């Protein structure tokens, strides 16, 4: 689906709904055919202060869509003096993608966020399909992620548990999927807003998980 002449993220992304929020995570490798073009590619985007967009696909398409959704979320907040509901943001992005389904954006998106009805997670495809779920993954590393999530995910898990499972799942994909690699980026979205986990904390958790 993607041309080897353009940079693509290859990619492993995931989202997990926890008891008090949502965890979203990605790797950072971008490929150009068999070449590792970039080792620290941004695939995790803050949308307003209550959502995260994890992206897989062509880098140019992903960056445009992230900027578009962030702008629309900010406009919604300014016009209505409230944050856009996660479901509404997913519907908006779905409509944008569907309008281009005959000349599509080459993307897979994971949209997670927390609003006044709790934590929500959506998987969006290039044709505009938007599917809510408790956990999801996108990109070439997703089969390895699903192996971890199917085994370890449980309803009502804490954010702390969700972070560890996300790190474990991204790590499994990086070990087995050649298009995934680099660092692990993790964001938590809760009633307190959007927060990215520091590289130092992620590394400490990786060391603990490996013992």
Q: Which residues are catalytic?
A: 11
Taking the CA atoms of 50, 53, 59 and 60 in sequence, report the sign of the dihedral they define.
negative
Q: How far apart are CA 84 and CA 73, in angstroms?
A: 6
CB contact set of 159 (below 8 Å; sequence gap of 6+): 18, 19, 20, 21, 23, 188, 190
Specify the DSSP class assigned to residue 113.
E
Is 127 in contact with 107 (CB distance < 8 Å)? Answer: no
Q: How many CA atoms lie within 13 A of 124 on its CB side?
A: 32
Q: How far apart are CA 60 and CA 50, in angstroms?
A: 24
Nearest-5° Cα angle at 113, 90 to 16: 105
CB contact set of 27 (below 8 Å; sequence gap of 6+): 11, 12, 13, 43, 141, 170, 173, 174, 180, 181, 182, 183, 184, 185
- Report the relative pairing of strands 21-26 and 30-32 from DSSP bridges: unpaired
């Amino acid at each position: 689906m993607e041309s080897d002449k353009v940079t693509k993220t290859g990619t492993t992304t995931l989202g997990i709904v926890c008891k008090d929020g949502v965890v979203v995570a990605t790797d950072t490798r971008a490929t150009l055919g068999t070449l590792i073009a970039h080792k620290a590619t941004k695939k995790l985007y803050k949308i307003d202060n209550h959502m995260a967009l994890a992206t897989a696909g062509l880098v140019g398409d992903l960056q445009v869509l992230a900027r578009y959704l962030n702008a629309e979320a900010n406009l919604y907040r300014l016009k209505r003096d409230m944050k856009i509901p996660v479901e509404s943001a997913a519907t908006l992005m779905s409509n944008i993608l569907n309008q281009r389904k005959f000349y599509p954006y080459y993307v897979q998106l994971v949209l997670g966020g927390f609003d006044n009805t709790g934590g929500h997670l959506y998987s969006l495809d290039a044709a505009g399909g938007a599917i809510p779920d408790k956990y999801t993954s996108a990109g070439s590393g997703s089969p390895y992620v699903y192996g971890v999530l199917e085994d370890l995910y449980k309803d009502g898990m804490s954010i702390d548990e969700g972070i560890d499972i996300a790190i474990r799942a991204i790590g499994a994909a990086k070990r087995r999927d050649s298009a995934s690699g680099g660092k692990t980026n993790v964001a938590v979205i809760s009633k307190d807003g959007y927060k990215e986990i520091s590289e130092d904390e992620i590394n400490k958790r990786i060391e603990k998980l490996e013992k």
